Amino acid sequence: MTQPNTIHVHLNGKPREVARGLTVDRLLESLELHPGMVVVELNREILARDAYGSVDVSDGDTIELVHFVGGG
Amino acid sequence: MSESIIEKARAFDEPLVIGGVDFASRLIVGTGKYATNEIMVNAIRASEAEMVTVAVRRVDLDRTKEEGILHHLDPDEFFLLANTAGCYTAEDAIRYARLARAAGFNEFIKLEVIGDERTLLPDVHATLEAARVLSAEGFKVMAYTNDDLITALRLEDAGCVAVMPLASPIGSGLGVVNPYFIREIKSRLEVPVIVDAGVGTASDACVTMEQGVDGVLMNTALAAADDPVRMAHAMKHAILAGRLAYLAGRMPAREIAVPSSPTTGMLD
């Protein structure tokens, strides 16, 4: 039996379909984000940068991508 | 290249040391609310501030990829102080602080836990709770607080590397509304006291520094000025003027005139 080739995740507060089998660094690449410029929180846990290439995005994951913006 | 005014003033003052890091400038500036990124960078350079605050927010995936501030502000040029602005609970502030540290620049965090939307006054209980947790995790916490001495003392006990009482509410530009409490906090704490929030114009910054505090953190006073770059120059001078006036020790104020020229030797 074949699995659908997309999965559903919650990305920055919105439901989103992404390709199955993406690692976090490939997800960032698909969003045109530089891995050094964002911090990734996966299911409320901060993901170390050196894990981006080895951790897969899974169906139902909650992902937060944050960065620095102007502020006081 | 001419020597900067901050460099010239080094002969008359010590560096500001926060959490083991030396700063020549006693002015810390925010990066929010500028009309353009170009004005923001020019104003910060004009201010000669070394430490600049930034906020942690979601990447807006529907917009330009250039909105992150590090596309405009070189982290090698400035010491980044991430904040927990917008957080209303200790739990949220701790989460934001951890995310900020994971960005990989330093262990410093400007801890801010707001208790009320109208005044943006701090929730000091939640601030203390978060300060204890974050200090235990190795963060160098610079805590935004109100002008209450007891809270300031507790924040120092909690391990904060700087305590940052407000001059007046965030973004109000009302200047220092309670100089007595600011002086009292400064006289009782060992860690640096940085006045954070409320400074509106150069005279406010100068008066604040004249209270003997170690520094001032401001954002709106620059960003909301008609000419932020010019105001940044003014603030740089005001901070330095207030600091040196404090160190110099002012003359006693009298409510009666005293002549400056000799009263003897006058012609008949």
Is the predicted pLDDT of residue A43 greater than 90, yes or no? yes
In a domain, A1, yes or no: no
- The structure's pTM equals 0.93
Domain with A48, as residue range(s), is 6-66
Q: What is the CATH number of the domain that holds A50?
A: 3.10.20.30
In a domain, A45, yes or no: yes
H helix runs in chain B, sequence order: 5-9, 37-47, 90-102, 124-136, 149-157, 179-188, 202-210, 220-223, 228-248
Is the predicted pLDDT of residue B104 greater than 60, yes or no? yes
Is the predicted pLDDT of residue B154 greater than 90, yes or no? yes
Q: Which of residues 13-52 of A touch B (CB under 8 A)?
A: 13-14, 31-33, 37-39, 41, 46, 48-49
**pLDDT for the residue numbered B35:** 94
Nearest chain A CA: its distance from B254 CA (Å): 40
Active site amino acids of B: 110
B198: tokens are 């409320």
CATH superfamily of B5-59+69-248: Aldolase class I (3.20.20.70)
In a domain, A71, yes or no: no
Is the predicted pLDDT of residue B65 greater than 60, yes or no? no
Please state the rounded mean pLDDT for residues B180-198: 97
The pLDDT-based confidence of B2 (bands split at 50, 70, 90) is: low
C-beta separation of B51 from B219 below 8 A: no
Separation between Cα atoms, residue B73 and residue B85, nearest integer Å? 19
Give pLDDT tens digits for B114-140: 999 999 999 999 999 999 999 999 999
ipTM value, please give it: 0.93
The structural domain count of chain A equals 1
The pLDDT-based confidence of B10 (bands split at 50, 70, 90) is: confident
A29 phi and psi, to 5 degrees?
A: -60, -40
**Among partner residues A31, A37, A64, which is closest to B58 by beta-carbon distance?**
A64
The pLDDT-based confidence of A4 (bands split at 50, 70, 90) is: confident
Mean residue pLDDT of chain A comes to 94
Percent of chain B with pLDDT over 70: 98
> Measured between beta carbons, which residues in chain B are less than 8 angstroms from residue A66?
56-59, 99
* Sequence ranges of the domains in chain B: 5-59+69-248
In a domain, A72, yes or no: no
Mean residue pLDDT of chain B comes to 95
